[in-house]
């Protein structure tokens, strides 16, 4: 059986290495056998990102997709500063070309956000606790034991800090789409 991490990494842009934390998260999902937080699912997104931007666009080379929402939205590392994925922010690209959001400043911050248990990270009100935080209870236990990460009750501070550090994601996407 091919591991989630290997399937995801195979669709990363050339010369981009998967962050160790993401590989470990994928391995945790392999062992858990299903959703580990809300309705978000880890999986390859490279081909979907190419389709999102259209043929011939170089935008997909600056995104390393690794998860999807139930509506077809994608989560990706935004590699605007180069091919080093370690400092790359995590972004959300809505399935309808909307909801262009910086979710976390880096993978470690994303793990904190993911561990809260929101159903759909690009759509839920992150200033409120999730409706079903227990969807991520095992993930929170793993994050604490593996990385000493504790999760806040809401994701608003994580997202606001990330947006402050990387405010121009939506403009970047619109420029790549020719808007």
pLDDT tens for residues 35-92? 889 888 898 888 888 888 887 788 989 999 999 888 889 999 999 988 899 899 999 9
Predicted local confidence at residue 47, as pLDDT: 85
CA-CA distance, 161 to 167, in Å (whole number)? Answer: 10
- Please, which residues bridge with residue 91 across strands? 76, 102
pTM above 0.85? yes
Residue 1 has pLDDT above 70, yes or no: no
Residue 42 CB-density burial (10 A; 0-12 exposed, 13-18 middle, 19+ buried): buried
CA-CA distance, 110 to 31, in Å (whole number)? Answer: 20
Predicted local confidence at residue 173, as pLDDT: 94
Provide mean pLDDT across the span 5-31.
Answer: 94
Predicted local confidence at residue 146, as pLDDT: 97
How many domains, in total, are found in the chain?
A: 1
- Percent residues over pLDDT 90 in the chain: 70
Domain membership of residue 52 as a residue range: 4-176
CA-CA distance, 107 to 126, in Å (whole number)? Answer: 18
8 A C-beta contact, residue 85 and residue 17: yes
Residues 6+ positions from 75 with CB-CB distance below 8 Å:
40, 45, 65, 66, 67, 68, 69, 90, 91, 92, 93, 103, 121
């Amino acid at each position: 059986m091919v591991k989630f991490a290997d399937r995801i990494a195979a669709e990363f842009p050339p010369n981009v290495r998967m962050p160790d934390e993401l590989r470990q998260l994928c391995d945790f999902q392999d062992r858990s056998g299903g959703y580990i937080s809300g309705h978000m699912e880890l999986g390859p997104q490279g081909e979907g990102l190419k389709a999102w931007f259209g043929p011939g666009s170089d935008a997909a080379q600056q995104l390393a997709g690794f998860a999807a929402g139930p509506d077809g939205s994608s989560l990706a590392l935004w590699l605007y500063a180069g091919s080093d994925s370690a400092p790359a922010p995590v972004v959300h690209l809505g399935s309808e070309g909307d909801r262009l959001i910086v979710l976390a400043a880096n993978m470690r911050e994303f793990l904190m956000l993911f561990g809260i248990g929101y159903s759909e990270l690009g759509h839920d009100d992150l200033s409120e606790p999730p409706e079903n935080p227990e969807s991520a209870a095992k993930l929170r236990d793993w994050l604490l034991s593996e990385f000493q990460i504790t999760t806040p009750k809401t994701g608003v501070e994580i997202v606001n800090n990330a947006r402050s550090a990387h405010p121009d994601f939506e403009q970047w996407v619109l420029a790549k789409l020719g808007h």
